[in-house]
Amino acid sequence: MILGTSNPGTVRTSFGGVARNVAAALGWISELPVDLITAVGDDLIGSEAVSSLKHIGLPTGNVIRKPGFRTATYVAVHGQDGDMHVAVVDTSLYDSGPFFSVLRNGSVLRDSRYAIVDANLQVAELKLVAEQCLRYGVELMYEPTSVPKSTRMVRTGCLNAVSWMFPNEAEVVEMATAAAGRRVRSPHEGAEVLLNMGVSRVVITRGSKGADLCRKTEPRYIHFPAVKVERVVNTTGAGDVLAAGVVHAIATGRSDIDAMKFATHAASRSLLSHEAAPKSILSKL
């Protein structure tokens, strides 16, 4: 890429976002009933996003429309190897705390078995979700989203509510540094800090190197190598598919280790598509 000028390339547009990708992947992989709580602006992209959810069969009853706001948008630049070089995200919509109206009465979580939240929620919203999961016995899973946002769950003071989290190497170090109040040097040291703070399992995603499951029971650290694929087309959303794969596997009675084996396989297959959660691939797992 040459800075300061336009660069020739291929541009593709699709709907995504952590919550949408996880929900869609769960819908393709599993027969579990899935509900999606998200927010869109009162713009064309928002209208099209809601239509796309209906098209793939996801419920839209808890999609919040926020007048005067732009729908969250993410632009990523990928190299020829499929890996992301840089990305820009506009999530100012979420800064308004749009989810309190749906989350406050607890009816959405009360009858749920699992809840997956990402760090696009504000700290107060994440705290509300964590407290309700503890109250109703819901297994809470956390997607840190990005390094700058990852510490939001730490700041809730409710890490003991988190059953699974799925940070990459940079995110786990950032979260652990915030939790410990000192500089954490390595991902495994970071996982140890978070486990000691109450998190049950930390899955460190490592891109082409696979993923590490870190937990309180022995063996405490288990590495799952990446499953080789013919050609990497797009890496965006692979971590979201991994999280969806874990939910499906544990919901169907598999152990932590078997859940990770299934999830890493699902994530690797998603690399073969330009879509973040490809139905054509995931529905065949």
**pLDDT tens, residue by residue, 113-147:** 999 999 999 999 999 999 999 999 999 999 999 99
- Name the average pLDDT for the chain: 90
Assess whether pLDDT exceeds 70 at residue 82.
no
Instruction: Identify the pLDDT of residue 190.
Output: 98
Instruction: Identify the pLDDT of residue 232.
Output: 76
**pLDDT tens, residue by residue, 235-280:** 767 888 999 999 999 999 999 999 999 999 888 887 767 676 666 6
Assess whether pLDDT exceeds 70 at residue 54.
yes
Mean local confidence (pLDDT), 100-123: 90
**pLDDT tens, residue by residue, 143-166:** 999 999 999 999 999 999 999 999
Which token pair is 262? 């299934």
Confidence of residue 285 (pLDDT cuts 50, 70, 90): low
**pLDDT tens, residue by residue, 166-178:** 999 999 999 999 9
Residues in Cβ contact with 53 at an 8 Å cutoff, skipping those fewer than 6 apart: 15, 20, 36, 59, 60, 63
Confidence of residue 76 (pLDDT cuts 50, 70, 90): confident
Instruction: Identify the pLDDT of residue 278.
Output: 61
- Can you spell out the DSSP letters for the chain? --TTS------------HHHHHHHHHHHH--S-----EEEESSHHHHHHHHHHHHTT---TTEEEETT-PPPEEEEEE-TTS-EEEEEEE-GGGGG-TTHHHHTT-HHHHT-SEEEEETTS-HHHHHHHHHHHHHHTPEEEEE--STTTTTHHHHTT-GGGEEEE--BHHHHHHHHHHHHTS---SHHHHHHHHHHTT-SEEEEE-GGG-EEEEESSSS-EEEEPPPP-S-----TTHHHHHHHHHHHHHHTT--HHHHHHHHHHHHHHHTTSSSSS-HHHHTT-
